Every structure is written in structure tokens, then in C-alpha cells.
Structure 1
Amino acid sequence: MSAFNLLHLVTKSQPVALRACGLPSGSCRDKKNCKVVFPQQELRKRLTPLQYHVTQEKGTESAFEGEYTHHKDPGIYKCVVCGTPLFKSETKFDSGSGWPSFHDVISSDAVSLTDDFSYGMHRVETSCSQCGAHLGHIFDDGPRPTGKRYCINSASLSFAHAESSSGEAACAGSSPAPASRDKTEL
């Protein structure tokens, strides 16, 4: 069955409200499922237009143009929206895809996985488990030991160098949510 026929079959049986990016905005379909919620006005001020588009509207940056695509410094990659640690530099590898790729997450509860049927295909979307920011997608064609490839947009990440990445240190350009707040509008 072609991608067009599959998309037609899905949309014919169920009315779907689509945004320009193909899906409703925000990875936490219902913001009460997110542990940390930021007002959209704050995010529009704090994030670049590309960071906002990628993390809040499920956009994608251009291949091979992201800040961290060829980045090799030791440290921790964090969510640009809330500062949650997501990936260690030791798990980063060059997949040739044009986006930063990692074979494992920093902890199993750092990233949420959701089925994504946009563009007439099935993929698995990755989102920050704390704030719901869209990160990218995960595929089963990565290296050992996991066999996974977390294909992540640079625009959804900030980076803390190894000497400043211990604990929950803040990243440049990001305002992490205080750990003591739970499901709070900041």
C-alpha cells in the first residue's frame, strides 16, 4: 500500500485537524501530562524561532546544518526548553543522516516515545519527558550495544561541557525548571 493510500485511509475514516507541520502542537498532547509547563509567550521570547518551531510545532531543521551535527566535545546534551539532561557525548555517533545521532539516552525516563503517523508513514517520535518538547525520532538502525538511533534536532538541544555538566547545572541559553516544582506553570 502506498504512503498516499495509507494516509487517505487514515484520514478518510477519522477527521484529523492538522497544523502546518502535520500534527497538533506540543508533544504532551494534554499539558497536564507534562511535569513542567512553560507559557508559550515565554518560550517565544526565550527560544530562537527555529528552536520554537522544532520543539513546540514538531518542526525539523535542515539536514547537515544543525549546530551539533558535527559537534564532538565531551559533555551532556540537554533539552533546550527545560534543561533536562538527555544524552551523553559518549553515545553520539555519525550516522550520516544530517542530524545529531545518539545510540542511547542518559536515563530511561529522560525521553518519551510516541507513535507518529505524519507524512503517511510510521515513525516513533522522541520528546523530552519533562516538558514535552519535540526532539526528533528514534530508529532501529543504530550501532551496538542498543541498535537504536536517536535522530535529534540540534535546535532542541543545549550543551554543557564535561567540566560543567555534572548534576543539574544550567546550560547557556536555557532556563531549566526548578526541580522542586511539579506540574507547575512557570
Structure 2
Amino acid sequence: MKSFLFNLKKTTTNLNYIHRSINNNNRLLLFPINNISSNNNKLGISSSNNICINFNIKNKRFYSNKMNLSEDEWRVKLSPAQFKVLREKGTERPDSGEYNKHYEKGVYNCAACDAPLFKSDHKFSSGCGWPSFYDSIPGALELHEDPSLPGRPRTEICCKNCGSHMGHVFKGERFNTPIDQRHCVNSISLKFHSEK
């Protein structure tokens, strides 16, 4: 797991830079800050080079946001149910999502930013109650260790373009698929585009 340490630095009278130190390889990245905001135990920092990082201070989880939208802007863009899952990392009830038993040919995109994430050819029936894919479109997802359930380590999957929460990926479950992994995805995190 990557561990991040953030410090703010003043260069003149304004907060101009943020230092990001990645502990496991001692790299230091520096980028200019445009805006810092806090709201409901969350800290948001946005930059002029399309980097926006949002921290959930309460449980110390974070995600990147290359779309550079504030949490208030996400609330306007998404429905309350979408916001709960995509931005606050919630989970929809099993067997409740529209794509759980959906097998039309096409591509499943991120519901927040419309980036392509999964192909229908990779979808399979796992019986878990959520859409399952054995693979994703290369480079479409970010993976993060998810410590939210003590004693049950999981790997969270997020859209690489906007940082929105998709679900989790599990390995070694021995499904009859070409790759022994299951991307367990919330339907509400997806937007389907039919193959013409």
C-alpha cells in the first residue's frame, strides 16, 4: 500500500505548493495549488495542472480527481444515490442494480465522467448480486488497498479519469473465466453504451 504524507508550504503570502511524499520510494512531487477547501470532514486541494486530490479526513481515504471538480460540483452533476457510491465510496444493495443481469453487447463507462471502463465481452455471471467483469479496459482503473473492513483486506477499483469509486476486485475465486479475478462493480457507477 502506498502511504501519502502531505505538507503545505508558503512561498509568499499565499499557499502555493503542496509536497507529496510517497513513503515507499521516497519520491517528492511538487505542484502549484489553486484552491483549498474543507467541508464535512473533507479536505479538497486543486491544482492548475488538472490535479485535484480530495481527502476524507474522517477515515483517511483519498482519491484523485483529474476532472478538477469540487465536491459541491459533483453533488450537482450526480444524483444523491450516485454521489453516495461514486464519491463517498458507498455500495448499492445486492441484486438491486440495473446491470447485474444485463448482457447486451457494448461498453460500460464511468457514470461520473463517461470514460470507458469495461467491455461486455468481459462480463460474466458470478451470482454475487453485482455486475462482474473478469477484466477491464487497459489503463482505465486505479487500484487502492481498502482498509475499511479490518481483517478483510480488499482492493478498491476507481475510475482513473475522475477517481470515482466503482467497487472492488477479488482474485483467486476460481470462476471459469480466462483471468482468475472478479471486478465486483456497482451498477450505479456505470453507464452502458450499446454496440451499434
Q: Which residue of 2 aligns with 1:124?
A: 155
3-state SS of 2:121 partner? helix
Q: Which residue of 2 aligns with 1:81?
A: 112
Structure 2: distance between partners of 1:62 and 1:39:
27
Structure 2: distance between partners of 1:152 and 1:74:
17
Q: CA deviation at 1:143?
A: 3.6
Alignment partner for residue 115 of structure 1, among 118, 125, 145? 145
Q: Say whether residues 1:147 and 2:180 are aligned partners.
A: yes
Structure 2: distance between partners of 1:144 and 1:42:
39
Instruction: Verify the 8 A CA contact 1:76 1:160 in the aligned structure 2.
Output: yes
Q: TM-score under structure 2 normalisation?
A: 0.66
Q: Which residue of 1 aligns with 2:80?
A: 49
Alignment partner for residue 63 of structure 2, among 27, 49, 54? 27
Distance change >3 Å, CA 25–CA 56, structure 1 → 2: farther
Gapped runs of 5+ residues in structure 2?
1-40, 43-54
3-state SS of 1:27 partner? strand
Q: Which residue of 2 aligns with 1:10?
A: none
Code of the aligned partner of 1:70: K
Distance change >3 Å, CA 54–CA 23, structure 1 → 2: farther
Give 1:89-100 correspondences, 5 Å limit: 89-100=120-131
Structure 2: distance between partners of 1:44 and 1:123:
27
Further displaced range: 143-152 or 89-98: 143-152
Structure 2: distance between partners of 1:100 and 1:23:
27
Q: CA deviation at 1:25?
A: 5.9
Cα RMSD of the aligned pairs, angstroms, is 2.2
Structure 2: distance between partners of 1:93 and 1:115:
24
3-state SS of 2:166 partner? strand
Structure 2: distance between partners of 1:73 and 1:139:
24
Q: CA deviation at 1:26?
A: 4.9
3-state SS of 1:41 partner? helix
More helix by share: 1
Structure 2: distance between partners of 1:89 and 1:23:
34
Instruction: Verify the 8 A CA contact 1:143 1:149 in the aligned structure 2.
Output: no
Q: CA deviation at 1:27?
A: 2.5
State the structure with bigger RCO (CA 8 A, min sep 6), 1 or 2.
1
Q: Which residue of 1 aligns with 2:190?
A: 157
3-state SS of 1:131 partner? coil
Q: CA deviation at 1:144?
A: 2.6
Alignment partner for residue 92 of structure 2, among 61, 77, 92? 61
Q: Which residue of 1 aligns with 2:71?
A: 40
Code of the aligned partner of 2:121: E
Code of the aligned partner of 1:147: D
